[in-house]
Structure 1
Amino acid sequence: MNFSNLNSIACYIVENGKGILAADESNPTCKKRFDTISVESTEKNRRDYRQLLFQAEGMLDNIGGVILFDETIRQNTNDGTPLVDLIKQKEALPGIKVDKGLAPFENSDIEKVTQGIEDLDARCAEYFKMGALFTKWRAVISIGNNLPSQGCIEENAKLLARYAKTVQKNNMVPIVEPEVLMDGSHSIEECYDATSRTLKSLFQNLEEENVDITGTILKPNMVTPGSEHQEKIGVETVAKETLRCLHECVPGNLPAITFLSGGQSETVSTEHLDAMNKIGGFPWKLSFSYGRALQAGALKAWLGKSENVDTAQSAFSHRALMNKKAALGQWSKDLEV
């Protein structure tokens, strides 16, 4: 697969309804996932599980890119095949998470800033040599009493822009992920406000850093109420408010928006994506970059046992196809058999 420029890479990842498998869980996060199925989080088990996903039939035609963790991009299968090559065999592109996690923002107990900018250039050069064609950097924004602060939004937006510029210099597409967290009891209006402020700051900073927007992918949250909010908000409302926010804040020359699932269940995240694509009328491709919302069923079916690999792969393949259909606005509940 030869690409003439960064825009062609970004477009390839989301063409024909394809989306991204986020398989970039850090080892501590992977341990939490494995604890739920009573499987020890060893390097081999992590490798076996990800190998299972990458070899699933449903990768082909449904997944255009896979975000890897540093450990995974260096791993091989039992027969010595690099995991990166497994991904390419399914006509998907390998990507890599490059941030180094979160630190407190100005001694706050709640607000965070993302680490990893200091040695990013050298790491990007290495990852590009290893076959990565795109990268991801996640910032987190919390809603609470008088939060998010504009200072925290600005600091994270500046870092996302510096990250994106460094990645493009190293011939890879940056995914910018400013996640407004679902944690809390906030309303959908408060989420809209925080998301709007975050996206406006992000694109202003990307412009100031002269980042090529046509070679960038946005990975945002959807505009939803907090996970502890009492009032039930319909799918249509989430879709409309998310689109309203994107129209207000995101330039039309951005090629793709691949949503994070952010704690939504497998089917709810699919349903929201489908509703937005059914509404239509936007200049970007709207697709998915899901971790748990693509993997939860597969993890539950696998249970760390080799005899369950086929069942786990079927669960993953089904979810990948459902999300492709949602990215095309062709999903319906009766497909979830």
Structure 2
Amino acid sequence: MSIEQLAETAQAMVAPGKGIIAIDESTSTIQKRFDSVGIECTEENRRAYREMLLGTPNLGDHISGAILFDETIRQSTKNGVPFTKLMMDNGIIPGIKVDKGTHALAGFPGEVVTEGLDGLRARLEEYYRLGARFAKWRAVINIGDDIPTGTGIDANAHALARYAALCQEQGLVPMVEPEVIMDGSHDIDTCYEVTEVTLRSLFASLYEHNVMLEGTILKASMVIPGTTSGEKASIEEVAAATLQCLKSTVPATLPGIVFLSGGQSDEDATAHLDAMNRMGPKPWPLSFSYGRAMQSAALKLWAQDLTGNIDAARKTVFERARDNGLAALGQWNKSAA
């Protein structure tokens, strides 16, 4: 695939007023979510849940793409329509999570590195045949006593860059996700410093691996105080710090940035995105790639009656997509939500 085609896909992923829904939970992760609402984590229940989400009427009005798990990209609706076809028929670009999760970084206690590069070229080739047009790889940066180290940050940046280069070789837009974790007692200034160093390392590594930024999307975490810091930053403080950090580190050639919710409440994730988009001109579109912040309310409704509550659950999914789509334009009105 040419750089022009990759760039076209990347731009479609961050089209005005649209964002990404992340439904790429591993089997163990979705089991925890199903357990929390009393649903048995069978393959059929997982398939039915993903069909409930992806079958939301008019979802494509506010959702440009969806990140799927390996199991999900191979599944179909109850009527036998492949999920990828259902998505494309509704203007939603199929994406796929390709990393194999985090593992302890040897020699660096408290730090992790994401694995999954072995055999990745062949897996990406298969995912492209199955309909995926973008992929996602998540790195995890923890903040604590004497961490992260430069080695830990650089190891994850290097893996992200190798993954991104392989994606573009196979015609897939890489979504690079260096998540600075909210857990911890750090203040907002520390989060800013770690995020800045992480992004500088990431883009240096992408450059070294000849990754074409015009066909790449950044999935970023917001600059926010640690969950046990006791510090409460306002919506405007988080938005301003995040935007300043991005402007100092992210090249203007990037087609767009989508944010992860990272454990924020549904409303906070939307409010922070909206505030950033109200803060004047930016070099790139700012949108969303939310998982729990898109799904949590719908999952609780659906769990009460797996067949009888589908319409109500889908209504909630659409409303969350609409609200975040408005926030991506800086037009969300909390009082009207």
**TM norm structure 1:** 0.98
Q: Distance in 1 between matches of 2:292 and 2:255?
A: 24
User: Aligned ranges for residues 279-290 of structure 1 at < 5 Å?
Assistant: 279-290=279-290
Asked whether the equivalents of residues 270 and 323 of structure 1 are also in contact (C-alpha less than 8 Å), the reply is yes
1:15 is matched with: 15
Q: SS of 1:140's equivalent?
A: strand
Q: Which amino acid aligns with 1:118?
A: D
Q: How does 1:30-179 map to 2 (within 5 A)?
A: 30-179=30-179
Letter in 1 for 2:298: A
Residue 191 of structure 1 is matched in structure 2 by 191
Query: What is the 5 A alignment of 1:257-336?
Result: 257-303=257-303, 305-336=306-337
* Structure 1 alignment gaps of length 5 or more: none
Return the letter of the residue paired with 2:239.
A
Letter in 1 for 2:324: N
Residue 280 of structure 1: how far off its partner (Å) = 2.7
1-structure distance, mates of 2:125, 2:152: 29
3-state SS of paired residue (1:200): helix
- Aligned partner of residue 15 in structure 1, secondary structure: coil
Contact 1:58 1:320 (C-alpha < 8 Å) held by counterparts: no
Q: Is the 8 A contact 2:108 2:152 kept in 1?
A: no
Comparing 228-237 and 195-204, the one that deviates more: 228-237
Find the counterpart in structure 1 of residue 246 from structure 2.
Answer: 246
What displacement does 1:86 show?
Answer: 1.3
Q: Secondary structure at the match of 1:67?
A: strand
Counterpart-to-counterpart distance in 2, 1:121 and 1:44: 30
Contact 2:176 2:218 in 1 (8 A): yes
- Structure 2 stretches of 5 or more lacking a match? none
1:19/1:63 contact within 8 Å kept: yes
TM-score where L is the length of structure 2 = 0.98
- State the AA in 2 paired with 1:64: S
Secondary structure of residue in 1 paired with 2:127: helix
Task: For residues 282-314 of structure 1, give each alpha carbon's deviation from its aligned partner in whole angstroms, at most 9, with x where no partner exists.
Answer: 111100000000001100111052101011001
1:239 shift after superposition: 0.4
**Whole-Å separation in 2 of the counterparts to 1:331 and 1:231:** 26
Deviating more after overlay: 315-324 vs 57-66: 57-66
Offset of 1:202 from its aligned partner? Answer: 0.1
Q: 1:235 Cα deviation (Å)?
A: 0.4
**Fraction of identical pairs, as percent:** 51
| SS in structure 1 of the partner of residue 230 of structure 2 | coil
Determine the structure 2 residue equivalent to 1:206.
206
- When structure 1 is superposed on structure 2, of 104-113 and 124-133 the one drifting more is 104-113
Query: Which amino acid in 2 is paired with 1:296?
Result: S
Give 1:108 shift: 4.0
Secondary structure at the residue paired with 2:308? helix
Q: Is the 8 A contact 2:191 2:225 kept in 1?
A: yes
Describe the SS at the equivalent of 1:233. coil
Task: Compute the displacement of 1:164 (Å).
Answer: 0.2
Contact 1:58 1:318 in 2 (8 A): no
Deviations 1:111-142 (A, max 9, x none): 11001001110000000011100000000000
Deviates more, 1:297-306 or 1:246-255: 297-306
